[in-house]
Amino acid sequence: MKCRFETKDNLCTGKYAGYACIKKQCSSLREAQKCEHHELSGDYCRKYARFGCVGKDSCQTLSNYLEAVAEEEEA
């Protein structure tokens, strides 16, 4: 599975910016795996048919989902 926070150089651009991608130890990935809408074969949200799982607590509505995506992009 390709992490959306991972660059081509295997660097993490998410919460652990500047370091190698830590994949299964990443809190973002662990949260996504708890969600029943997360596609296990990749970073895809089946509920909203979009790439990027924002975690179960942030996707009650499309508006919540889009706000969470915007917050992640700002970080």
| Overall domain count for the chain | 1
Mean pLDDT, residues 2-29: 75
Range of the domain at 25: 1-75
Q: In whole angstroms, what is the distance from residue 73 CA to residue 75 CA?
A: 6
pLDDT digits (tens, 9 = 90+) for 34-52: 888 888 766 788 999 988 8
Question: What is the percent of the chain with per-residue pLDDT over 70, rounded to a whole number?
Answer: 85
Find the angle CA(41)-CA(14)-CA(2) to the nearest 5 degrees.
Answer: 20
pLDDT band at 8 (very low <50, low <70, confident <90, very high): confident
Q: What is the pTM of this model?
A: 0.59
Token pair recorded at residue 33: 């795996």
Q: In whole angstroms, what is the distance from residue 35 CA to residue 48 CA?
A: 13
